[in-house]
């Protein structure tokens, strides 16, 4: 007997791009944890989601460049597809009310042409470090910026990988003992912990296991050392 074909889902009529934050203890939520919480929030908020066709339909959500587990962020982005037109502000408020405190929906706008991921080519990070004095930290930043390449290692799904942490860094400064990092996105993405590891490689006084707490402040299209708002 031939297998019955699944029903075709209604096509999307609207796409919304959403900016959200990970704050406080919720910075330790993994991307998978957030995805589950967000799908539950969509159901509770009554958002008219478009679903994929097939035997296992799932809501049409496109995630883009999520921050690593343990990092806070004021600039996470995703896109959702809807089966009817909705007021973006109403969707924003309903989703924010349906998510736990610390996962906060900040903005929602109609999607423009092109892929959301193509608008996310750089990030600005605030990195709070402890266990090293400011003078030593400044010396490490100076040595890092003067280097042509600083190799670091990170365990990935495919195993231990070695890559350059210097090339993608557009700017790095110390301000009141806090690192201000502007980095261009590439493959692999250079993360705040990679840069902290690199500082330990170029300055012996900075331990490679330096304690650091990172917050992504902005994310967007990198042009001439500035980040353009990806929702603009």
Q: What is the model's pLDDT at position 52?
A: 85
Q: What is the model's pLDDT at position 192?
A: 95
3-state secondary structure of 109: strand
pLDDT tens digits, one per residue of 57-97: 889 999 999 999 999 999 999 999 999 999 999 999 999 99
- pTM to 2 decimals? 0.91
Distances (CA, A) of 76 to 103, 180, 214: 10, 18, 14
Given a cut of 90, is residue 208 above it in pLDDT? no
Is there a contact between 82 and 13 (Cβ–Cβ < 8 Å)? yes
Give the domain-ending residue among 82, 117, 152: 117
Same domain, 144 and 205: yes
> Which residue range is the domain that position 182 belongs to?
120-228
Least confident piece of the model among 83-92, 111-120, 200-209: 200-209
Q: Strand 169-175 relative to strand 226-228: parallel, antiparallel, unpaired? A: unpaired
Given a cut of 50, is residue 101 above it in pLDDT? yes
Q: Which of 225, 230, 154, 146 is nearest to 192 (CA)?
A: 154
Cα–Cα dist 117/107, whole Å? 17
Given a cut of 80, is residue 54 above it in pLDDT? no
Q: What is the model's pLDDT at position 4?
A: 61
Average pLDDT over residues 153-166: 94
Q: What is the model's pLDDT at position 11?
A: 82
Q: What is the model's pLDDT at position 1?
A: 47
Same domain, 102 and 163: no
Residue 75 tokens, joined: 């600039």
CA 22 to chain centre: 10
Give the CATH number, domain containing residue 130. Answer: 3.30.70.100
Counting beta carbons within 10 angstroms of the beta carbon of residue 138, is it exposed (0 to 12), middle (13 to 18) or buried (19 or more)?
A: middle
Kindly report the number of other CB atoms within 10 A of residue 208's CB atom.
12
Give the domain-ending residue among 93, 117, 141: 117
The number of domains in the chain is 2
Cα–Cα dist 77/19, whole Å? 5
Same domain, 86 and 158: no
Given a cut of 80, is residue 103 above it in pLDDT? yes
The 3-state DSSP composition of the chain as helix, strand, coil percent (nearest 5) reads 25, 35, 40
pLDDT tens digits, one per residue of 2-33: 456 566 677 889 999 999 999 999 999 999 99
């Amino acid at each position: 007997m031939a297998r019955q074909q699944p029903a075709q889902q209604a096509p999307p009529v609207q796409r919304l791009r959403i900016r959200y934050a990970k704050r406080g203890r919720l910075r330790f939520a993994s991307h998978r944890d957030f995805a589950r919480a967000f799908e539950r929030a969509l159901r509770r908020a009554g958002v008219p989601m478009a679903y994929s066709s097939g035997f296992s339909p799932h809501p049409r959500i496109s995630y883009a460049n999520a921050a690593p587990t343990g990092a806070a962020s004021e600039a996470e982005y995703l896109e959702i597809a809807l089966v009817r037109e909705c007021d973006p502000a109403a969707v924003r408020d309903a989703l924010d009310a349906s998510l736990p405190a610390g996962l906060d929906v900040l903005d929602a706008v109609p999607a423009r042409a092109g892929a959301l991921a193509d608008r996310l080519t750089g990030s600005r990070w605030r990195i709070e470090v402890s266990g090293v004095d400011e003078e030593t930290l400044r010396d490490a930043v100076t040595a890092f910026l003067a280097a042509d390449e600083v190799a670091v290692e990170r365990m990935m799904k495919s195993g231990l990988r070695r890559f350059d942490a210097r090339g993608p860094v557009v700017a790095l400064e110390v301000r009141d003992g806090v690192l201000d990092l502007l980095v261009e996105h590439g493959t692999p993405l250079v993360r705040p912990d990679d840069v902290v590891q690199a500082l330990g490689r170029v300055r012996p006084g900075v331990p490679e296991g330096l304690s650091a707490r990172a917050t992504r402040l902005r994310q967007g299209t990198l042009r001439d050392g500035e980040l353009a708002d990806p929702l603009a």
